[in-house]
Every structure is written in C-alpha cells, then in structure tokens.
Chain A
Amino acid sequence: MALDSKVPQGPIAEKWTNYKNHINLVNPANKRNIDIIVVGTGLAGGSAAATLAELGYNVKAFAYQDSPRRAHSIAAQGGINAAKNYQGDGDSTYRLFYDTVKGGDYRAREANVYRLAEVSANIIDQCVAQGVPFARDYGGLLDNRSFGGVLVSRTFYAKGQTGQQLLLGAYSAMNRQIGRGKIQMYNRHEMMDVVLVDGKARGIITRNLVTGEIERHSAHAVVIASGGYGNVFFLSTNAMGSNVSAAWKIHKKGAYFANPCYTQIHPTCIPVSGDHQSKLTLMSESLRNDGRIWVPAKLEDAQAIREGKKKPTDLSEEERDYYLERRYPAFGNLVPRDVASRAAKERCDAGFGVNATGEAVYLDFAAAIERYGKEQALVKGLNTEDAALVDKLGKEIVKAKYGNLFQMYDKIVDEDPYNTPMMIYPAVHYTMGGVWVDYNLMTTIPGCYCIGEANFSDHGANRLGASALMQGLADGYFVLPYTIGDYLSDDIRTGKISTDTPEFDQAEKEVKEKLDFFVNNKGSKSVDHFHKRLGKIMWNKVGMARNEQGLKEAMAEIKELREEFWKDVKVPGAADTYNEELAKAGRVADFLELGELFAKDALVREESCGGHFREESAETEGPQKGEAKRDDENFAFVSAWEYKGEPADAVLHKEQLEFNDIELKTRSYK
C-alpha cells in the first residue's frame, strides 16, 4: 500500500483553514447515533474524549489506571509552548513552526507542524477558561519561561507541575461529560486487541484488570491515545505501567509503525543508584534556565570526587568545565535535549563523570542564587555586598521557582541542592516515533486514529521541551474532533455495531488463548527478569550512540530473549482475577517485539538525526566536528514499517518529506 499523507493543497498558512472549510460534517442528531472508543486518558485521550462527547458523540474511554487523572501526562513538569508572543520578543506561529521543525532535525511533516503551531495559542485560552492556574506576574497576566532550543520565551507553566494542571483540566472536562452520561469511563481496563470488520476498526477487546473479565466493545471509530514506548528500555522516566501494547496491537492488525528508533534521551534526570532501580526521575528542563552544567576540568579532580576525597564546592571556577557553554556559546545550557545528552555522555565516557558509577554531571545553581540574591537586595534597598544576605534572598527566589523539584531531588538523593550542585545524567524520556498517521491523524487502518505521543507526527527526530503537552492537547481538543467527523459522516446510516460477530469471536478467542498460555506456562523466571534484560540490551546497543555492529547484535539478542521469554516466563495466579503479573507479561511480550523493530529501524537509518545518533555518521572536520551528521539526500523520509510476522521481516515504506517553507540546513546551536 502506498502511503498517502493527505496533506491539503495550498499555501502552508492556509491549509488547515481551507481543510476545515471543506470537510464533511455530521449533524448533531446523527452524532447521537455514533460511538467512538478512546484508549488512554492522558492529555491527548482525555481532551479528545471530552471534546468528542461535547460535540454529541457517544464516547467510551479506557484507562489502565484507577482514574483518568493518573495518566502519565500528569508527570510533565516544565510547561507548554504556545505562540502567543505575550512577551513581545518576536514570537509568531511561523517561528514556533520553524523552531519545531529545526528542533526535530528536519524529520517532521511540515503541514502537521504548522497546524500544531497555529492552534497552540488557542490551547492556552482554553485551559485558562477551564480554570488551569497558570503562573502569573504581579500585573495579573500570564508569565512565561524559556526552554531549550529556542530564542524566545513562549512556555506557559504552573510551577513545576504543568502536566498535572493541564491533565486535571482535561479530566475536569471529561468529568462534566461523564456526569452527563456522554462518556462511559472504564477505569482499570486494558485494551487487548483491536477488532476489524470489513477492514475498518470497529471495536476493541478489553480485560477488566480487577475481575479479569474479557469484554467486547464496539464503535464506529477507535482512537488510540496510549502514550509512548520508552519503557522498552525498562528504566525510563515513564510510569511503571506505560506500555506500547495498544499501539503494537493495531500495528499487528495493519497500522504502520513509524520511526521507532527516534527516542528522546532527556539530559537532566537523577542518575541510577543500583540494580533495584525501578524507574528514573526527571528533573525538569526548566532548571536549565538557571542551572549551569559542568564537570571537573581535570581528570584527577573527577577521580577525587568519585572517591569522595573532594566535594564539588571545593573546585574553583577555573577548575570547572562548563562544557555546554564552552561548546555552544549561542545556546549554552539551553541547547536541545539530544545535544545536551550526547555532550554529557561524551564527558562521562572521557572519564569526567562525578558519581560512583562515573555516569553523572553537575547542574549547579550557585550562580543563579547569587544573581537573584543581588537583584532582590537591590530591589529591597539592602546591602548587595552582604554575601549571607544575598545567598538567603537568592535561595528564596530559587525555591519559589523550583521548590518542588528541589524537594524531590533531596528526597531521592538525600542531598540538599541549594547547597551542593545536583547530579544528573541522561535517561530515556519520550518517544518521537509511533504509529504512522496521515494529516487526519488516521492510521493505515480505516477508522483507527492515533493521537498524542502514541503517534509519530510532529516532533521529527527530536522533540523540543514543552512541546509534548502542546501536541497532546492540540490533537485532542482541536484537530481530531474535526478530522474524525469527516470520516464518520459516511457512518450516519450504519447503526449500532454488533459485538456478536465472527470478527469479535475470533479476536476474543486469541486474547483468551494468550492469557491462558501465560498462567499455565511452567516457566522459572519472572516477567521483570526479562524486561530488565531487554532494557539492558536496548540501553547498551540502541541507546544514545548506535553503530551497525551493535544494532545487529541487539536484533539477534532480542530475538533470542523473546524466544526464551515464551519458553520460560513464570506468571503466578489465575487469568480470571486481579493479576498484575499477567498484565505485565502481555506488555513485555509486546516490548520484546517492538525492541527488535526499533533496532532494525536504527540500523536502516544510516544517518544521525536528532535523538538518533549513528557513530558512523558524525562530522569529521570544521567547526561542527564531532556533531551529528544528517544525510538529507538519502534519508529525508519517514520510515513506516508494515508488520509481516517476525519484527525482522517488517517491510519498510517511505514517506518522502518535502520542505517547501523551511530551508534544510545543518542544525547548529553554536
């Protein structure tokens, strides 16, 4: 099947408006006869469910958590971008569009990104109307901060809990519709498979995680909003339950999976402390507004610190290497995430790491504390030369800005970041890859949509900070509700979809067989045992730096591990009851397939772009020496993979990317 992105004709700034003017609509009376399933209730799924219900459709929403409010969007800290230009610093729709395409290393679809930038301002209006308590200045207007990879302040925030507040906003909109009976909410339910009737997505099979019951649900369209697949690495900043299964199930039924190798390794996470580690905790990128990143300039100092013989505060300015400021003077500590992560790895690989494992760098607030302290002393007419006073005043400001993050760090590491620099190291955070969708956000299965992090569309090979929340809400509030109507306008005479059909029988049978297999398998190793081993392979060979040999090894090792898993996995308990090990087994089985496709995708893409760094493809000379080298001539395409049984047999389809409104350039932050 040839890929058709269905991007509308016309100038980029008019595409979305023209599109909306010419699509088919469903009248309100007919909407009442149409059912839509939404899987996942994070920012994308929650906002979509609420909006579709407001429009009049009957929505069934599903979450594996015990409430929609717990979806992992809630953990996003820093903020949400919008081209409001409230600061008058030169922002515009075009500039947000440009920054996003450039930040994504020119591997995103222009038309989708422009639309995202276009609706971004509306998101802020919407959220304020919902009662989201964004930060404000003393004049009562909304405040902004700056994020990596851009030169304007366009990030709106609610302390360090922006994701929480936006999700609770979407949750409140959902609650209003649940109260009205327009959304039926199924908490603690997991989607086990999608059901296709005559080639169209017409329902799903779910498992009630409390009772173990297998249920059938039908609808005229199915929306997948199940988030990213970072947990394929076992250790990531994702929630423990975050999984690829809903996305992977539709992939196996015909939805192409795009760019699986595009993974964002976030530069500022709390380093790993031991083998017991179950997840990694992010320290918001907003900290890089005020924190300076460094390692010791001399190897012997790094060693002394690792051995506990020296403290970071013992080192003078000259003995420190602020390597981001040194390498990237224009953007300094605010280079994009992929660049910052690789730079940290480069220093640590060279022996400058600062914790016992050698995998940590410093994020230091001393300079910010002094700067803010002096400013406050001046404002209050106090002595700016009084070091103790300046320190106290400065810490108060830093606390007001980042207090919850500092507390979180202190609780985990047992060190006070007000008085000693934080230790950070990159960790898997976000997946730009995902299910391939066209301009309508429809997958290659008719009637099956994919939104939010679960799709591949807007961030190219690297996502800029504060853009995930923007995309999730844009898809759910403002894009999908239009595009899905165009498709459903053909369904107004279809009537209720029956679940009593051979297609549902077959799908349910397969689901039950797999569950029975797990609980009856006489294996010897737990699900986590396999998940951790998969994670190690992924991190070591498909992580921050990749090469041909490692990727080939990874593919073989994952295949072998998958075979071992099916022979030797041990799942205690029964299938018809609460059984978390059983739920985990299904998710890890899917990760074991995705992981291999992920490595294959990375192997095929013989260039470096964004979060995907191939060691064979780096600049060897000139001012960009050592930086990632993109190959636009041969790789300016989206890799969309078609499922053919074994992950290694997946067939590659290419969507050629065209850049008409942005000139392809080497991405430089120097």
Chain B
Amino acid sequence: MNMNLKLKIWRQNGANDEGKMVDYSISDVSPDMSFLEMLDVLNEQIISEGGEPVAFDHDCREGICGMCSLYINGEAHGPDRGITTCQLHMRKFKDGDTIYIEPFRAKAFPVIKDLVVDRSSFDRIQHAGGFISVNTSGNTQDANAIPISKHAADEAMDAATCIGCGACVATCKNSSAMLFVGAKVSQYALLPQGQVEAADRVKNMVAQMDLEGFGNCTNTGACEVECPKGISLDNIARMNREFLKANI
C-alpha cells in the first residue's frame, strides 16, 4: 500500500552556509520505489512549486559506483544491511513515518551542497600509494606465470570490493578511514604482485590518511556493520600488521 511520509532534510547552500533541517511532506509513495526514486519524486514536487531541488549524489543506482551516500535516520545508507542508499527500498518504511535525511558528516568530507559532500580526500589517499607500480606497456609476463592460491585471490577480491562510498567514515565516531585504507592495503598485501612495494605503500597511504584529518580506529566495529560491501574488520588488523612490519 502506498504511504504518506514526513521528511526532515538537511539543506545547506554551499560549504560556508550554516545549514538546517527543513520539513517536507510527500504522499503516495510506492513501497517498490527506491529511496532515491522517492527523492526524485520529491524534487519534481519542489520544482513544480518553484523551489530548488534537494542536491544529492547518485549515479549508477545499482550499488556499485559508490556515489550515493546519505545518513538516513541516523544510519549510513539507511536501515538495511549490505546495501547502498540507491538499493534501499521504501518497503523498509511504513505509512506515517518521519525520515531524517542528512549528509555523511566528517571533517574530511566537507559539505558541497545539501546532501552532497566532497570525498576527494579518499582519492588523495589512493594517489599516495593505492597502486602497483607497473607500466601499462603490454609487455608484462603471462597472467598465469605466478599461480596464486584461490584462498588468497578470494580474500584479495573481498577486500577489493570496497566502493569508496565513505559510509565507514560517516558512521565512525572518530571519522576514521581505516576500513577504506585497510581494504586497499590488504588487497595488494594478499597478492604477490603487491608485495614488492608493500612497505612504502602502507606508510604513504597512512600518512596521507592522517594528513586529511581522518580520526583513529578504536575498534568499535561500526564501520563493518554499515559497510554496504561487507568489508571485514580483519582488513584493519592486516593494515596495522603491515604498518608495523614496514616500520620495524
């Protein structure tokens, strides 16, 4: 059955604006709609009334690009597990609900407008070491020259599925990015190709992470719970081990 909902949405006109929660009502919401489709309908409503639509990031709408964010009722990507906001469906809410919608908040993620935040700090951490230094010349050795155990390959894949959305940071009381950084460090640490420059990589990435203003990890594990891709806390442990190893 279709629903009527009350929305409280964070509106902020640029990084220097103070920002505030604004109330909206929306009616006739189908439970089959995705959360972002509900916001599309709201924006059409706002435009037809002569207002400015709510800005929010989104792109692929199938849970893989990592562009969508949103803190919904106090949870990154809303009240469901293993999904991004674009995969959240309105059937998770009920008629008459009030829904609070805020941006991902962290010092290292400044607000651009309304619900849109700047996550370029994540990119800069990757520039510092999120790669294997191999040229794309086409003269690399045969792909099967180095067998890699299925176990290690699968574990590297699990770490590599991080979509860089920032839910881990938004949900952490310290705004720590260690799950994000740990996932990348782990992916390469688990593969023979990544071993060569493992020490430099972890040192450089961690240094950049600190420089960006992300907090430290205090092992509460909230990031793992809210991660849409189920990235494991083990990756933080592995990063710490790599970091220690690199500094001995």
Give A residues with C-beta under 8 Å from B. Answer: 47, 50-51, 54, 65-72, 74-75, 84, 86, 119, 122, 124-131, 133-142, 158-159, 161, 164-165, 168, 171-173, 175-176, 178-179, 185, 187, 210, 237, 239-241, 273-274, 276-279, 281-282, 407-408, 411-412, 414, 477-478, 526, 528-529, 570, 572-573, 577-578, 580-581
What 13 additional pairs, Cβ within 8 angstroms, besides A279-B61, A578-B55? A65-B59, A69-B123, A74-B64, A125-B138, A125-B141, A133-B160, A135-B153, A136-B149, A164-B163, A278-B40, A411-B89, A528-B44, A572-B50
Q: Judging by beta carbons under 8 Å apart, are A75 and B60 in contact?
A: yes
The docked-state distance in angstroms from the alpha carbon of A606 to that of B30 is 43
Q: A75-B65, A164-B161 are in contact. Are A478 and B138 (CB under 8 A)?
A: yes
CA distance A168 to B229 in the complex (A): 15
A70 to B163, CA, bound (A): 9
Q: In the bound complex, do residue B47 and residue A526 qualify as a contact, i.e. CB atoms below 8 Å apart?
A: yes
Q: Which of B53, B128, B142 contacts A125 (CB 8 A)?
A: B142
Specify the chain A residue showing the minimal Cβ separation from B162. A168
Residues on the A chain within 8 Å of B60, using CB? 70, 72, 74-75, 239-240
Of B33, B57, B157, which one neighbours A66 at CB under 8 angstroms? B57
Q: How far is the CA of A572 from the CA of B55 in the complex (A)?
A: 12
Provide the main secondary structure of the chain B interface.
Answer: loop
B150→A130 contact, CB < 8 A: no
**Interface members, chain B 34-72 (any A CB < 8 Å):** 34, 36-38, 40-41, 44, 47-48, 50-53, 55, 57-67
**A-chain residues with CB within 8 Å of residue B142 when the two chains form the complex:** 125
Q: A157–B118 Cα gap in the complex (Å)? A: 32
Chain B 60-91 against A: per-residue CB contact (8 Å), 1 yes, 0 no? 11111111000000000000101100010101
Q: Which of A74, A168, A274, A282 contacts B160 (CB 8 A)?
A: A168
Binary flags per residue of B105-126, CB closer than 8 Å to A gives 1, else 0: 0000000110010111011001
Please, how many angstroms separate the alpha-carbon atoms of A86 and B147 in the complex? 13
Contact A54–B136 (Cβ < 8 Å): yes
How far does the Cβ of B67 sit from chain A's closest Cβ, in whole Å? 5
B243 within 8 A of partner (CB): no
* A127, B113: Cα distance in complex, Å: 37
Q: Is B27 an interface residue (CB 8 A)?
A: no
The residue that B128 contacts in the complex, of A69, A179, A276, with Cβ under 8 A, is: A179
Say yes or no: A142 contacts B144, CB within 8 Å.
yes
Cross-chain contact A239 with B47 (CB below 8 angstroms): no
Closest approach, in angstroms, between the C-beta of B143 and any C-beta of chain A?
A: 4
Docked complex Cα distance between A135 and B152 (Å): 10
Complex formed: what's the CA distance from A580 to B119 in Å?
A: 18
The chain B residues found within 8 Å of chain A, CB to CB, are 14, 30, 32-34, 36-38, 40-41, 44, 47-48, 50-53, 55, 57-67, 80, 82-83, 87, 89, 91, 112-113, 116, 118-120, 122-123, 126-128, 130-138, 140-144, 147-150, 153-154, 156-157, 160-161, 163-164, 187-188, 191, 193-194
Which has the most chain A C-beta neighbours within 10 Å: B53, B59, B141, B164?
A: B59
Contacts of B134 in A (CB 8 A): 126, 129-130
B87 touches A133 (CB 8 A): no
Flag if A414 contacts B67 (CB, 8 Å).
no
Give Cα distance in the complex from A665 to B2, angstroms.
54
A145 CB to closest chain B CB (Å) equals: 15
Q: How far is the CB of B161 from chain A (nearest CB, A)?
A: 6
Flag if A67 contacts B164 (CB, 8 Å): yes
Q: What residues on B are CB-neighbors of A74 within 8 Å?
A: 60, 64-65
Chain B residues lying within 8 Å of A75, measured Cβ to Cβ, are 60, 62, 64-65
Question: Contact at A139–B147, with CB atoms within 8 Å?
Answer: yes
Which of B67, B80, B187 lies at the interface centre, i.e. has the most chain A CB atoms within 10 A of its CB? Answer: B67
- B136 touching A126 by the CB < 8 A rule? yes
Q: How far is the CB of A80 from chain B (nearest CB, A)?
A: 12
Tell which of A134, A411, A477, A529 has the most Cβ of chain B within 10 Å.
A411
Contact with A239, one of B41, B61, B116 (Cβ below 8 angstroms): B61
**B150 and A137 within 8 A (CB):** yes
Report A656 CB to chain B, min CB distance, Å.
32
A-B contact pairs, 26 of them (CB 8 A): A69-B65, A69-B123, A70-B59, A70-B66, A126-B136, A126-B140, A131-B191, A133-B156, A133-B157, A139-B147, A171-B126, A173-B131, A175-B130, A239-B59, A239-B60, A239-B65, A240-B60, A276-B38, A276-B40, A277-B37, A278-B36, A278-B61, A408-B87, A411-B80, A572-B50, A581-B53
Asked if B160 and A240 sit within 8 Å, CB to CB, the answer is no
Chain A residues near B133 (CB, 8 Å)? 176
Q: Are A131 and B40 in contact (CB under 8 A)?
A: no
A84 and B143 form a contact (CB under 8 A): yes
CB <8 Å contact, A140 and B61: no
Given A67-B164, A168-B160, A176-B133, answer yes or no on A528-B64 (Cβ-Cβ < 8 Å): no
In the complex, which residue of chain A has the Cβ closest to the Cβ of B204? A179
- Whether A70 and B65, one on each chain, are in contact in the complex, defined by CB atoms closer than 8 angstroms, is yes
A131 with B47, Cβ < 8 A, contacts A65-B65, A69-B66, A175-B127 known:
no
Assess whether B91 is in contact with A130, with CB atoms less than 8 Å apart.
no
Question: B143 contacts A125, CB within 8 Å?
Answer: yes
Instruction: Indicate if the CB atoms of B58 and A240 lie closer than 8 Å.
Output: yes
List residues of chain B with CB within 8 A of the CB of A84.
Answer: 143
Whether A281 pairs with B62 at a CB distance below 8 angstroms is yes
Most buried by A among B51, B82, B140: B140
Contact: A172 with B132, CB < 8 Å?
A: yes
Q: Are B53 and A580 in contact (CB under 8 A)?
A: yes
Residues of chain A within 8 A of B122, CB atoms compared: 67
- Cβ contact of A134, chosen from B135, B138, B153, B187, cutoff 8 A: B153
Shortest A275–chain B CB gap in Å is 9
- B89 and A173 form a contact (CB under 8 A): no
Whether the Cβ atoms of B153 and A572 lie closer than 8 Å is no
With A176-B131, A239-B61 already in contact, the answer to whether A165 and B157 are too (CB < 8 A) is yes
Is the beta-carbon distance between B64 and A131 smaller than 8 angstroms? no
Which residues of the partner chain B approach A176 to less than 8 Å between Cβ atoms? 127, 131, 133
Question: Is A67 in contact with B143, judged by CB distance below 8 angstroms?
Answer: no
Instruction: Tell me, rounded to whole Å, the shortest Cβ–Cβ distance linking A333 to chain B.
Output: 23
B113 touches A578 (CB 8 A): yes
Beta-carbon contact of B41 and A276 below 8 Å: yes
Could you tell me the distance between the alpha carbons of A273 and B33 in the complex, rounded to whole angstroms?
8
- Given A47-B136, A278-B37, decide whether A187 and B120 contact each other with a Cβ distance below 8 A: yes
